[in-house]
Structure 1
Amino acid sequence: MNIDPAIFKAYDIRGIVDRTLTEEAVRAIGLALGSVARAQGIDRAVVGRDGRLSGPALAGALAEGFRDAGVSVIDIGQVTTPIVYYATYELGTGTGVAVTGSHNPPEYNGLKMMIGGDALYGDAIQDLRVAIAEGRFAPVAAAQRGGLSSLDLRERYLDRVVGDVKLARPMKVAIDCGNGVAGAFAPELFRRLGCEVTELFCEVDGTFPNHHPDPAHAENLADLQRSLRETDCEIGLAFDGDGDRVGVVTKKGAIIFPDRQLMLLAADVLSRNPGARIIYDVKCTRNLAGWIREHGGEPLMWRTGHSLVKAKLKETGAPLAGEMSGHIFFKERWYGFDDGLYAAARLLEILSRHADPGAVLEALPDSPTTPELQLPTAEGENFTLVESLKKNARFEGATEVITIDGVRAEYPDGFGLARPSNTTPVVVMRFEADTPKALARIQEAFRAAILAEKPGAKLPF
């Protein structure tokens, strides 16, 4: 059948409901996924969904597609994406799909997919698209059609986290779920861990009436910062729309970005796993590598993308990995997938040993840095532009140019990064340096390099 190829992204499937992402399309994707699973000897799959209004209909269509392929579906209802991952491990299916639009606007939805214990990404997602377009998959005979059952894993998941994480003392926390599905789980989880919880926007509402459920952007943390000022809460936690990412705010209102959160988590994990690798993506602070070494670990920079990092963690056996976007992956004591609620619980476990959690977080190494900057391009031009930079750009004074994911030029006093987004037609840029003057110099080097390839480009710095 004819499905808009634009919905097949690098790490997931995502589109506008009833326009590019229809029930018919999702049923066809379910048939394709089920056929791939069956070819690997897999006959059961988990299906869950976030709090979006389109979730029930799309999850139903997906389940029908799986069943058409002869795969039985275990419907676990409205859950965070990490609970879908958890279910694939706990139920032994290795296979499951979260129907989620993550942090996208309400009119979007999508699919995050696992088959045989591996997240689908890159070529595997494009292979699905091609196979559907070519009509390679056919439903099984009616007698072989998969069954459908329902299972509520809420208590099992909460018990698993509470059984693992122990706080040294009760804490007072503010939690902002942005009306995403994390609101159905986070308040109870943190109360069970011994916290006094102040709730912000924890009612699940797929229209997201208060603010966008994306803690990667400072404007979405303003309500949490205000709550910390006006209450006696010690720390603030914010979750994205499907609960696989976490944002952190201190009592003083400082935003502790995920690469600095990872420092604290790495020091803790390395205290029990000396010499272990810690994985982080190319957008993270240059302070991280030195910190990991100081604490007895081996830093490993990798490509951006939750599926890519997950695969690298599995390949290397690393106990911990993290991304600048807020995906944190624990293999130590956990399963190796990204879970914002679990990562927040592990962070509180460490912070509960201190009288002033904010001071601990604010003392972590920091440098003048830019937020994520974006240069809009035509579709596909972001990739060709960055390839041209790799080939032609000469960054004077750089000690190393890393090209595993875009171009990251390392200097003695900072770094600059330009990489093509895998989800939207933009070049993503980030800069960090020891001083504002060094930051301006590095930005100027990237400005010259980009303008040499794309004269007239309107740069966001």
Structure 2
Amino acid sequence: MADLAKIFKAYDIRGIVPAELDADTAEALGAAFVRVTGASAVVTAHDMRETSVPLVTAFARGVTAQGADVIEAGLGSTDMLYYASGSLDLPGAMFTASHNPAKYNGVKLCRAAARPVGSASGLAEIRDLVESGVPAYDGTPGTVSRRDVLSGYAEHLKTLVDLSGIRRLKVVVDAGNGMGGHTVPTVFEGLPIDLVPLYFELDGTFPNHEANPIEPENLRDLQAAVREHGADIGLAFDGDADRCFVVDERGEIVSPSAITALVAVRELAKHPGASIVHNLITSRAVPEIIREQGGTPVRTRVGHSFIKQTMAETGAVFGGEHSAHFYFRDFWFADSGMLAALHVLAALGDQPDSPARPLSELLREYDRYAASGEINSEVADQTAAAGKVRAAFAGRPGVTVDELDGLTVGAEDWWFNLRPSNTEPLLRLNAEAANDETMAAVRDEVLAIVRERK
């Protein structure tokens, strides 16, 4: 049995295959998932990694051994799995390691209607059951069947965002050899979009670049293609296509906070006075704009299970994260990079102004501050490094400190958050300030302490 402490994270399961996550563990996970959820059936999907089919097959053995049925949706994105869970009202399991390198794989679990399973909402219980051994089921085994949900997923998204009347757009999409290459053609079918595809061939070895668009180097091909083709917009999806990053018509990277603000404004137009959830790393512009539009901003910690839980508790219509995860009440409170992309395309293509503003101008009002982006530092002792940073800043005049999620330090015209990764031995820094000079000074001071530079 694998070392479960290594692979159970705050809101999913992830590890190197087979050293940390193997078929036996996946089978035990399937059995434990049925025991914890009480499910009579489970829907599964998987990404394009070579190890995904063996793992999802083993998981299904565990599910059926407990008397529950398995509905296999096959290849799909994580948000397609959430659609399947929501539309079928069944617990679900998505086998993917998202943006992690090819040697990794994992599983994202949800209860019926795509309700989250995190460390405080069932994941710890599943881990304990796997560790102690899942009791055998003395009854008739379940069955396995297949169901195509991709077309239903695509049609459902297009009922949530109407793009039928938009002006024709040229859109470059970089799928990074991930699941966007499978879902984008079906979702875009019939829309007034001229699609320029990059790396749509499914390949879990990621031969062109990592399917991790939060890293700027993985967006360079998309930026170049947008400029080369004179496109209106570029979209980049991660490996399991639940996150979407945006590049404007100049080939410049758009902050996910600006996308959060734009979608929030659109949702508040439909639901005046509603709550919008944002995590503590999104730009200060996001809660400012939500308030300006008559909405109520709700701050929460990073991570999809935390965002979903807060949205359910508050009835929020939308939630956004700095990592380009976007969550929608009318999508079972689940995250969908594709749905966020459709909102941006609708905003860009359905402007009353003539001529229509390019994306860079459309988003200018949502981008108010200078931001560092996420900067990773490999640190042997994350707690000690964060403690040194806290000691350096705490007590300064006008400085506030909170530890809702990692370390957040702020002043009137700047703030930063330093938090450990849930999946890698890294400290992640995000800093923001009123201007580039202040942001750079704060960023560099924190990095000097974390990386022990004199």
Q: Which residue in 2 is equivalent to 1:152?
A: 148
How far has the Cα of 1:447 moved from its partner?
6.3
In the TM superposition, what is the alpha-carbon distance from 1:439 to its structure 2 partner? 2.2
The letter for the 2-side match of 1:346 is H
d(CA) in 2 for partners of 1:32, 1:20 = 18
Equivalent in the alignment of 2:199: 201
Deviation at 1:285, TM superposition (A): 1.1
In 1, Cα distance between equivalents of 2:395 and 2:192: 51
Structure 2 gaps of 5+ residues are none
Q: What amino acid maps onto 2:30 in structure 1?
A: G
Inter-CA distance 128–374: structure 2 relative to 1 (3 Å threshold): same
Q: Distance in 2 between matches of 1:146 and 1:252?
A: 54
Q: Give a deviation string over 1:294-337, Cα, whole Å, max 9, x none.
A: 11111121100111111111111100001000100011x43210
Say if 1:90 and 1:364 are closer, same or farther in 2 by CA, change over 3 A.
same
Q: Is the 8 A contact 2:279 2:300 kept in 1?
A: yes
Q: Please say if 1:398 is aligned against 2:394.
A: no
d(CA) in 1 for partners of 2:243, 2:436: 30
Secondary structure of residue in 2 paired with 1:132 = helix
Tell me the distance in 1 between the aligned counterparts of 2:444 and 2:172: 40
Deviation, 1:3, is 4.0
* Counterpart secondary structure, 1:192: coil
Give the corresponding residue for 1:86: 83
Distance (whole Å) between structure 2 residues aligned to residue 241 and residue 405 of structure 1? 26
Instruction: Deviation per CA, 1:93-120: give whole Å up to 9, x if none.
Output: 1x01000110111111100001244321
1-side partners of 2:368 and 2:215: how far apart?
A: 18
Provide the rounded CA distance (Å) in 2 between the counterparts of 1:383 and 1:125: 24
1:51-85 deviations in whole A, cap 9, x for unaligned? 11111111100100111122111011001111111
2:103 is the counterpart of 1:107: yes
Correspondence for 2:42: 45
Unaligned runs of 5+ in 1: 452-456
Q: Which residue of 2 aligns with 1:56?
A: 53
Q: Alpha-carbon deviations, 1:221-272, whole Å to 9, x = none?
A: 1111111111132100111100110000011011112111111111111112
Residues 1:310 and 1:349: Cα distance change in structure 2 (over 3 Å): same
Asked if the contact 1:69/1:140 (under 8 Å) is kept, the reply is yes
Partner of 2:377: 375
Is the partner of 1:144 in helix, strand or coil? coil
Look up the equivalent residue of 1:43 and give its one-letter code: S
Deviations 1:188-225 (A, max 9, x none): 31232221111111121111111111111111111111
Contact between 1:13 and 1:112, CA under 8 Å: does it hold in 2? yes
Letter in 2 for 1:458: R
| Residue identity in the other structure for 1:214 | N
Cα 1:459/1:25, change in 2 over 3 Å: same
Structure 1 letter corresponding to 2:427: V
Matched, 1:164 2:160: yes
Alignment partners' CA distance in 2, 1:162 and 1:439: 40
| CA RMSD after TM alignment | 2.1
2:298 equivalent to 1:300: yes
> Which secondary structure state, in structure 1, belongs to the residue aligned with residue 11 of structure 2?
coil
- State the partner residue of 1:20: 20
Which residue in the other structure is 2:213 paired with? Answer: 215
Pair 1:458 & 2:451 matched: yes
Cα distance in 1 for residues equivalent to 2:441 and 2:210: 34
Which secondary structure does the structure 1 equivalent of 2:370 belong to?
Answer: coil
1:111-260 alignment, distance < 5 Å = 111-117=107-113, 118-123=115-120, 124-135=122-133, 137-141=134-138, 143-167=139-163, 168-260=166-258
Q: How many Å separate the matches in 2 of 1:374 and 1:236? A: 25
Cα distance in structure 2, aligned partners of 1:397 and 1:432 = 19
Give the Å deviation of 1:18: 1.6
Cα pair 1:3 1:25 within 8 Å, conserved: no
- Amino acid in structure 1 at the alignment position of 2:102: P
Question: Residue in 2 aligned with 1:6?
Answer: 6
Aligned residues: 445
Give the TM-score of the pair, scaled to structure 2.
Answer: 0.92
Could you say which residue in structure 1 is the equivalent of 2:337?
Answer: 340
Distance in 2 separating the partners of 1:20 and 1:75:
24
CA contact (8 A) 2:43 2:93 kept: yes
- Cα distance in 2 for residues equivalent to 1:103 and 1:2: 22
Q: Which moved more, 1:242-251 or 1:410-419?
A: 410-419
Using the TM superposition, give the Cα deviation of residue 400 of structure 1 relative to its aligned residue in structure 2, in angstroms.
3.4
Conservation of the 8 A alpha-carbon contact between 1:54 and 1:109: yes
Aligned position for 1:73: 70
Hey, what's the Cα distance between the residues in 1 that align with 2:70 and 2:97?
A: 21
Structure 2 CA distance for partners of 1:330 and 1:293, relative to 1, 3 Å: same
TM-score by length of 1: 0.91
8 Å CA contact 2:10–2:422 kept in 1: the answer is yes
The answer on whether the counterparts of 2:393 and 2:409 sit within 8 Å (CA) in structure 1 is no
Aligned counterparts of 1:106 and 1:362: Cα–Cα separation in 2: 37
